[in-house]
Structure 1
Amino acid sequence: MSIARPDLPRRLAAEALGTAVLVATVVGSGIMADRLTEDVALALLGNTIPTGAILVVLIMVLGPISGAHFNPAVTAVFVARRELAAADGLAYAAAQVLGGLAGTLVAHLMFEHAPFALSPTVRTGAAQWLAEAVATFTLVAVILGGLRFRPEAVPMLVGLTITAAYWFTASTSFANPAVAIARSVTDTFSGIRPVDLPGFIVAELVGAFLALGLMGWLLAPRKPTTVPVATPAE
């Protein structure tokens, strides 16, 4: 029995909602962690665990509707793979950015902050850009490999990847242009200066497409090997 794909408005609503909840979790847990401790490492841990956890939940719940991209870099990869129409991909990206901004707004209101505030947190330089490229490369590679070999495990794989990348990358793994944009309007623990956004976004897209190229080669179907069969002489 075939299941009809949800129409575009429902898919866009799922992408906006998922990105909003993801960003609300990132920003909100960052504010909470910063309030509860002055230990930066502990605050980062308090920011990491909720983010990884909510990703697992969101992908499991909203994945059947939209694919649960919540990330323009991931959407761009699926457009390049011709699994999503370019026009739909642009609509996905717009929904993700708007959802991310809504997530920052909701987090701020929950913690009695101004609706939006430009971040002064400096995140720039070659090391930060390399970290974002590595984080996004890893994320996309895990998604593509997971879809090929263990599709039922993708929610957990993505959640664990982001949880790990918070700690092994110098940038704490934004790995998502929509999330980066949303984090530029929060003057809190998780923020990034708006002026630093272009470097992050370019690095994220570069990482995503490097992963697409490598995984496209790694996951390509193997050509059957023909072995000559000797026939008995007559």
Structure 2
Amino acid sequence: MIPRTLAAEGLGTAMLLIGVVGSGIMADTLSGGNVALALLGNAVATGCMLVTIITVLGPISGAHFNPAVTLAFYLQGGIGRRDAVLYTLVQIAGGLIGVWATHFMFDLPIFETAATMHRTGPSQWFSELLATLGLLFVIFGGLRARPDAVPALVGLYITGAYFFTSSTSFANPAVTIARSFTDTFAGISPGHAPMFIVMQISAVFLGYLTLRPLFDD
């Protein structure tokens, strides 16, 4: 059972990054320099991919595809320590594979870093804290109210969060790491990624203190 769940987590995270990076490249190419239009295409494609992979792979692994989500489930007792570590490792590996596959698909250098994509500063760090906390709110609130609606809720939330957060809502350490290895529309400079991850993980502990009393009977 464990190999199958890990395969689902790795595959799902790879597909998520293909959706994020691939749609970013295509949207940036077709938008003619209109950043708002490119971001809209990027957001919609990412949201659609999330609905799809959560619906299909959720029954197999729980469809975390995100070390922050895995950590949140671990803190609530929904997953064991060993499995949480393994989930995190395959999520990171899957994200990198997804980026490299996308580069190959668009005839770009397979291995590169986001040398020109700068995303930093207190406002964007705070944005990542709120974006991740909001994602956890949607997941755990949705699981309590309507579990069958969680795929759509997550997809809708992330689609919207691309626009209502200053950081465009990475909200995922594995995604952040993977996006530091693409110098395309969706990239983030490797030097700026660590602070994004710090804020994402901080949001998990903040969520444990605030969302657990709200949703846990």
CA contact (8 A) 1:96 1:178 kept: yes
Deviation at residue 117 of structure 1 after TM alignment: 1.1
Whether 1:10 aligns to 2:4 is: yes
- Higher gyration radius (CA): 1
Q: What's 1:27 paired with? A: 21
Aligned mate of 1:182, from 158, 178, 182: 178
Q: What's 1:36 paired with? A: 30
Aligned mate of 2:150, from 125, 129, 154: 154
> Where does structure 1 lack aligned partners over 5 or more consecutive residues?
1-6, 222-234
Q: Which has the higher helix share?
A: 2
* Letter of the 2:13 counterpart: T
TM-score (normalised: structure 2): 0.97
Mean Cα displacement is larger for which, 208-217 or 158-167?
208-217
- Give the aligned CA root-mean-square deviation in angstroms: 0.7
Q: What's 2:40 paired with? A: 45
Q: What's 1:78 paired with? A: 73
Q: What's 2:109 paired with? A: 114
CA deviation string 1:138-182 (max 9, x = no partner): 000110011111101000010011011100000000000000000
* Letter of the 2:101 counterpart: V
Whether 1:171 aligns to 2:167 is: yes
Identical-residue share of aligned pairs (%):
55
CA deviation string 1:28-53 (max 9, x = no partner): 00000111121000000010000001
CA contact (8 A) 1:139 1:161 kept: yes
> Where does structure 2 lack aligned partners over 5 or more consecutive residues?
none
Number of equivalences:
215
Cα distance in 1 for residues equivalent to 2:92 and 2:68? 12
TM-score (normalised: structure 1): 0.90
Q: What's 1:231 paired with? A: none
Cα distance in 1 for residues equivalent to 2:215 and 2:136? 13
Q: Where does 1:79-228 land on structure 2 (aligned, <5 Å)?
A: 79-120=74-115, 121-221=117-217
- Structure 1 runs of 4+ with >6 Å offset: none
* Letter of the 2:124 counterpart: Q
